[in-house]
Structures are given as structure tokens and as C-alpha cells.
Structure 1
Amino acid sequence: MKYRLEKDSLGEMKVPVNAYYGAQTQRAVENFQISNLRFSNQFIQSLALIKKSSAKINSQLGLLDKDIAEKIISVSEEIINGNYLSEFVIDIFQTGSGTSTNMNMNEVISNIAIEKSGGKKGDKNSVHPNDHVNLGQSSNDVIPTAIHIALIKSITFDLIPSLEILEKALKKKSIEFDRTIKTGRTHLQDATPITLGQEFLGYCGQVQNGIEKLNDSLKWLSKVALGGTAVGTGINTHKDFARLVCEDISDSTNLEIIETDNHFQAQSTIDGISGTAGVIKSLSLSIMKICNDIRWMGSGPRGGLGEINLPSVAPG
């Protein structure tokens, strides 16, 4: 493999010649050979979305040259659209603040923009990864913001629509089985009669509760840390930067993203993330319970309950 030399504050690093990342990313790759797990594409694309809006707003505020901003915006859009995702090579287990992955993004955007302008990778003068791409930002506010945005997008566009399909199917079955009387059980012991429809109505309610709790979690996640920079004080960023970036992201995604009113809380805790994880865990337990009940009612055909027929999907 051929290499080129790039420099960071600690010295020179050999970087694969075709890679768009730079010295800090390569250093992190060598430092964090832990799990071979990588950040999801949804997270990487959310991080690129922040870089795009940041360049746009910094330019509008007169802090970033318009030509440089347009180059950053153009490359960020390519990443958002699914290009260059293989350039994000750092293990998910790294510095707690995600500094390495933030710099991975900054370097990739910088080098692609430089190359598209006719320059050479690593020549940071025209589009600098720190001074231009990361302007007004810190890993400490950008990374948690990207996590929140990625979660909001996944919950809004993937998880809730899937749950709504499941809820509708369970509701349909509850109506279909409304007059099918069977034995109700507590602790697997026969109790009193119940309809199969009533049992499915219970399953439907579990899914409905999960959807409601997920919608509540979106309110927690919508408040993001962007604007606090290193420790929550907002040093080295324009006072209107985060608010305007959040408004721009909201406009482009049709999602509610707002700057937190308490940066010290937002940057020193993961309350929104851990709360959402709790909701997803609770929902997972509900889905597991539904699956186990259906499996138990479909047991047999000779020695089990045999109360429902599950269609065969594979031999064995």
C-alpha cells in the first residue's frame, strides 16, 4: 500500500494515499484497535448534516468565506446522500467525547473539498478541518447533537412507522378473534374464559404504549447540546450560531431540533439518550412477551396448547 505524509499537532503520520481522512484519523485508527465496530451510517450522515448547516450559518454570520462554505456544504451533502461512508474508519470505542470521529469528519470534508478544487490532500490552507469545517464547534457539543439527531431520524422514520404497522395488524386480529372464546390463564394455570380478541387487544395496547413513550422521548432528544462548545459556556462560538444551525436542520429535515436552554446539563449527562434507551428496552420486552405468548398458544400440534395455527415458513 502506498502512503502520504500528513501532520497533526503531535507530528507526522503515514496515511493511505487514496484515503480522504488525515493524520488525526490515522492516529486514532492505530490507537483504538478494539472491536472493529463502527458508527452507524445514520450517525455519520447526521454528523455531516451538522457540518453542512454549520458552514451555511457561519457564512451568513460573516465568520466563514462564502466560497469555502459552499465547498463544505457540497461535500457534506454528498456524505448525507451516502457517498464516502467507507472513509469513516475509527472504532466506536474511542475517546469519550468522540473527538476522533469528529476529526475524521472534518478531515474527510476538508480533503475532498481540497481535491475537488484542484489541490492535494493534506494541504489545509484552502479548506482547513479545524478552522473552517469545525468552526464554532467542539466534539463535546457536536457528537451528542449528532447522536440525538440520528436517534430522532431513526425513531421518526423507521421505528414508529414499523410499530404502527404492527399495531394495525394486532388491532385487526383483535376484531377478527372477538368471538373466539378460550381459556384465560394466570401463571400458566387455567383461570376464567377470555376471548382471543381480548388477548390481542392487550398486545395492541402494549405497542400503542410504546409508540406514545417514543413520541415523548423525541421531546427529550429534540433539545441538543450544540452551542455549548467545550464545557457548556459557548466560548469561541457566535451567540446566534447554535440557534440558527438548529433552525436550519429543522427546516431541512422537517424535524424539531432546538438548542438546549441548559448547556451544562446537556453536555455533562446523557439523560435524553439513556431515557430513550429505557423506552426502547421496555418496548423490546413487550414485543418479546407478545412473541412468547403467540409461540406458546401455537405449541403442538399434539402435545402443546394448539390454540392457534402458525403458518409454516420453513422445514424443521
Structure 2
Amino acid sequence: MTTTHPTRIERDAFGAVEIPADRYWGAQTQRALGLFEIGDERFPAVLVHAFGLHKWAAARVNAKLGVLDARLADAIETAATEVRDGEFDGHFPLTVWQTGSGTQTNMNANEVIANRANELLGQPLGTKSPVHPNDHVNASQSSNDSFPTVMHMAAALELTGRLRPALDELRVTLQARARAFAGIVKVARTHLMDAVPMTMEQTFDAFAHQAANAVARIDSVLPRVLVVPQGGSAAGTGLNVPPGFAEAFCDELAGASGLAFAPNPSKFEGMGAHDALVEASGVLNAIAVALLKIANDVRWLGSGPRCGLGELRLPDDGLTSSIMPGKRNPTIAEVLAQACFQVAGNHQTVTMAGASGNFELNVAKPVLIYNLLQSIRVLADAVVVFSRRLVAGLDVDRERVAANVENALLVVTALNPVLGYDNVARIIAKAVDERIGPRAAALALGLLDAHAYDRIVDPARLAVGGRVDG
């Protein structure tokens, strides 16, 4: 049996359109749904919420500048606030695959807010009166400047509200592990091979510095992300935009978000190019590279437990193999690694999209912001899981670490100033050939006595650097 759902009829310049009766979108959104039947990738909720904040600020400024009647502006502000708060997420059905300006999603926002505002004013959905989606909700705006402004808003909100706190938490957690591992001497590794002694504290301090640098990179790019092209209207000319709109709009955004949004002095640059967002994606790519280094080092240091390095003890995540009972894997580190791979791939897409500015308009905005926001989200979520469920529970297998240090060959590098490079190479060669320790090899060669060897070749002292002469 076929079930029919109630519909309503809305009209635009192209004629009548049938729309589900309980949906707040309008004719243009419905037409786009039938036209762009491509994929199922939709914008994350943060972009929809940013549109609500955007239309709220625009309505407030339009009222102050006399563009909108106060009664209509109040209704638009209320409806836009509800969109910002997530009450209408289900009324934004379009996929990312649409016109390169993002016009359809801007129209979607205009229609939802207009219908809701009219409902608040006692009118049924679809009337376009007294609030019209274009004449009133979109007043002093164009998709050309509104969609890129929302792109910057969503990116800034996610960078500051989601990713930056996650990275700062990771930094603190790594620093705590570094302090906990103070004084534990281990073997450094270069080229995947044994090197000189260092401490586990130094290993984790390096990780913490990478996390701190990641936070600094976000802080560095943020001022350019906060510059928005609102006020450029069609093509950047500012057509139909009252004087002072761009400045007042940014003031409203800053007051509502706590972020220092500022108008772009060149609206043409802000709409024809998205260099700041490409730069932000590059920052995310650099952060992903750093995080991948940390994730890989942690899982290598924890490899084993019997036949790998086994120097770190990873916390049990409760998961195991489908065939090998009791097997434990570094699943959380692997998740973070995969998130980093995704970010690297997304950056390539953002790069291509950012290079798609044609004269006064970039025409790959939807795919650019979709990938940028996904990169922020997966990095932030993966970092939180990695920090709380893996790094915070890490411990050191002190016996394994001590045994590795005891067997390390390159501790005798400290003898270079005393014996010279070639003699130290003889010690290493003898130790390798005869499968003995470097101490025994040095004494067997008669190059120095036991007292001198033990005084100079002290792994704990070597880990802090410097030089001990004979």
C-alpha cells in the first residue's frame, strides 16, 4: 500500500512547487533537491548553526540601519536564533554537491527562517508574507558574500571551540606523562636503529612540544580566518548594501561569539579567493603530520608485548582479535593515524577547491568548507580519544627499558673524546662480532680500565648530554 504524505504548494518565479507540508524549506530548496541528486554528503550541523547566527546578525543590523521594519526583524532574529540553536537541523536537506557559490544552502537558510518567522507572526508556511526569504531574510546580502562569511564563521568556531581545546588537553596530558617518566633512561633510535641514551621524559616532552606548536599554529592562522567578506554583496561591489553594514555586522558577530570577526577591506579578495581557508587547511595538515608522528612512536614503543620493543605499556581498551584470543592492539593510535590520513587527503581537495576562483568568485565553496570542517572534526575527536583513553594511561615497562639500555652498543659514543672515533668503532665491531657488551669489548681491547669506563659511560649522565673527558 502506498502511503501519501501531506504536501503544500509554494510558488517562485519559475512556478509552483510541491513541498512536504511539515518542512520549513521553500521552493528553491525543493527544486535543488530534485536537481542535485548526487551523493549523501551533507554539511555538518555547525555550518547550519553558523547560518543561523549569520542571519540573526544581519537582521539586527538591517533593523538598526532602517532596512528592516522592527517587527519583521524581531521575528527573523527569533527564527534565526532557533536555527543557530539546532532546532531546525532536519530542515536543511541539501548535499554538498550544489552550485559552487553555495547559493542553494543560503536560499535554504533564507526559506527556513522566513517560514518560521511568518509562523511566529501567525501565518502558515509558504506564504512569504509578511517575511520574504529574499527581500527580508537576505536583505543587504548575496550568496556571494554570505556563504563565504559563514564558511569563515564555521571554521573559526570549530578551530577555537573544538580543535584548539583538544590539542591543549593533549599537550597537558603529554606533559604529565613526561613528568611521570622523569629519570627513566632509554635508548634513543635514529634510522630505526639503536642510538645513544636518552630519557623517556625527553621523548614525551618532544611530543608535548609538538602539541604546543599545533596550538600555536591555530592561533597564528586565526586572525586571517576571522576576516570575512560580508558586505560585498553581488561580485564584491557592495550593491544594495547600506553604508556601515559590514562593520556593524562584524560587531554583532564578535559580541555573540566572543571572536574578533572583522570586515575584509577587499570584498573582492574575500569572495574570489579563499586563501585564508586554504592556509587553515595547511595548518591542519601540519598538525596531522605531527600527530601521526606521535601516534606511530607510541605504538612502536608499545609493540610486543614479548617480541617487539615493549618499552611502553598501553592501557587495555577491552578489544581483541577475532581469531587470536587475548591479543591486544594499539587501536586508538591507529584511529588517530587514520584521522591524520583523512586530513592529508582533505587538504588536497581544499587546495584544488581554493584554486578554483574564477575572476570575482570562487566556485568550489561547498566542497572546500565540507572538507575543512571534516578535518577539524576528525582531528579534534581523535585527539580527545587518544589523549584520554591512551596517553593518560600509558606506563613504562621499566625492566624492558633497563635491559635495552644495558645491551645498548652506542653508549660508547661518549668515549669519542677520550679514545677517538676509530678506537670506539673497534669496540663496537668487537661487541657485535663476539655478541658481547660494549664494556666487555672495551676492556678486552685494553683501551681503558673498568673504573674509567664506568665513570665516562654512565647512561643516566649521557642522557642529559655534555662531555666527560678521560
How far does the alpha carbon of each residue in 1:34-92 deviate from its partner, in whole angstroms, 9 at most, with x for none? 11111111111111111111111111111111100000001111111110110011111
Q: What's 1:266 paired with? A: 270
**How many angstroms does 1:2 deviate by?**
2.1
Q: What's 1:87 paired with? A: 91
One of 296, 301, 312 as aligned partner of 2:300: 296
Distance 1:195 1:7 in 2: 72
One of 231, 235, 250 as aligned partner of 1:231: 235
Matches within 5 A, 1:276-295: 276-295=280-299
One of 20, 27, 41 as aligned partner of 1:37: 41
* 1:182 lines up with 2:186 in the alignment: yes
Q: What's 2:226 paired with? A: 222
Q: What's the Cα RMSD here?
A: 1.0
Distance 1:172 1:123 in 2: 60
Count of equivalent residues: 316
Distance 2:184 2:243 in 1: 64
TM-score, normalised by the number of residues in structure 2: 0.66
Distance 1:115 1:53 in 2: 20
Distance 1:94 1:174 in 2: 49
SS of the aligned residue for 1:184 comes to strand
Q: Which runs of 5+ in 2 are unaligned?
A: 321-470
TM-score, normalised by the number of residues in structure 1: 0.98
How far does the alpha carbon of each residue in 1:257-292 deviate from its partner, in whole angstroms, 9 at most, with x for none? 110011111111111111111111111121111011
User: What residue identity is the alignment partner of 1:185?
Assistant: R
Distance 2:162 2:52 in 1: 20
SS of the aligned residue for 2:233 comes to coil
**How many angstroms does 1:161 deviate by?**
1.0
**How many angstroms does 1:219 deviate by?**
0.7
User: What residue identity is the alignment partner of 1:257?
Assistant: F
SS of the aligned residue for 1:130 comes to helix
* 1:13 lines up with 2:17 in the alignment: yes
User: What residue identity is the alignment partner of 1:124?
Assistant: K
One of 231, 246, 257 as aligned partner of 1:242: 246
Where do 4+ consecutive residues of structure 1 move more than 2 Å? none
SS of the aligned residue for 1:178 comes to coil
Distance 1:58 1:3 in 2: 33
User: What residue identity is the alignment partner of 1:249?
Assistant: L
One of 205, 210, 213 as aligned partner of 2:209: 205
How far does the alpha carbon of each residue in 1:178-226 deviate from its partner, in whole angstroms, 9 at most, with x for none? 2111111112111111111111111111111110010111111010010
SS of the aligned residue for 1:42 comes to helix
**How many angstroms does 1:116 deviate by?**
2.1
User: What residue identity is the alignment partner of 2:139?
Assistant: L
User: What residue identity is the alignment partner of 2:119?
Assistant: E
Matches within 5 A, 1:21-100: 21-100=25-104
Q: What's 2:199 paired with? A: 195
Distance 2:29 2:73 in 1: 22
SS of the aligned residue for 1:7 comes to strand
Distance 1:40 1:310 in 2: 33
Q: Which runs of 5+ in 1 are unaligned?
A: none
Distance 2:139 2:55 in 1: 9
**Max radius of gyration: which structure?**
2
